[in-house]
Amino acid sequence: MSNVTSSQQGQDVTISIIGRFDFNILQVFRDSYSEHAGTDLSFSLDLAQTEYIDSSALGMLLNMKNHLGAEDCAIEIKNCQPNLMKIFTIAHFDKKFKFL
């Protein structure tokens, strides 16, 4: 099953998604960042243990970006696996988020 965890270290908030990243974790995913809106914190997503994404995940990521009012490439995506990277690339998400 999917799981979302969020941790903060100083100015950096890291959200890790374990398992499937789709609309089934919509609420928990939103909760993980929504309280930080309007702050100067920097956000990164750790996808090292994410197994699957679909268009609902892409929508959720864009919602996150809009909610936080983040500039293009201000949110970092870390440890994205090659199979998921393909999907991000097809969706041109590599222009919206900073992949590390």
Partner 1 sequence: MQILVVDDQATNRAILTWLLEDDGHTVLEAENGLIAIELFEKHEIDIVLMDVMMPVMDGLEATQKIKALQKDGNYVPVIFLTALEDDKALSQCLESGGDDFLSKPYNDAVLKSKIAAHIRIRELTQDITEKHKELTLHNSRWEREQNIVAHIFNTAMEHNLSDCDNLRSHIAPASTFNGDILLSAPSPAGGLYVFLGDFTGHGLGASIGTLPIAHSFEQLASRHLSVGEIAFEFNKMLATMLPDYMFCCASIIELNPQGDSLQIWGGGLPDAYVINADGSIRETLPSGNMPLGVEKDQSKFNKGFEVRRLAEGERVIFFTDGIIEAESPEGEFFEEERLLSCFEAGTKDTIGAILEKLNNFILDAEQRDDITLFEVSSGPVVINHKLGATDSVEDHYDGILWRMSCKLEAEDIKRANPVEEIMSILGAQTLMRPNKDVIGLVLAEMYSNALEHGILELSSELKKTEDGFMEYYQQRQSRLENLTNALIQISFRLIKDGEHFLRIKISDSGNGFDVSKMSHSSNEDSFGRGVGLINRVCSRVEYLEGGSTIEVDFPISKMMTVD
Residues at the interface with partner 1 (CB under 8 A): 23, 26-27, 30, 48-49, 54-56, 58-60, 62-63, 66-67, 78-79, 81-87, 89-92, 94, 100
Cα distances (Å, whole numbers) of residue 85 to 6, 29, 50, 66: 22, 20, 11, 21
In the bound complex, what is the minimum distance in angstroms from residue 86's beta carbon to partner 1?
5
DSSP 8-state code for residue 56: H
Measure CA 15 to chain center.
7
In the bound complex, what is the minimum distance in angstroms from residue 66's beta carbon to partner 1?
7
Of residues 8 and 95, the one with the C-beta less far from partner 1? 95
The whole-angstrom separation of Cα 29 and Cα 82 is: 22
Of residues 13 and 65, the one with the C-beta less far from partner 1? 65
Other C-beta atoms lying within 10 Å of the C-beta of residue 52: 13
In the bound complex, what is the minimum distance in angstroms from residue 87's beta carbon to partner 1?
5
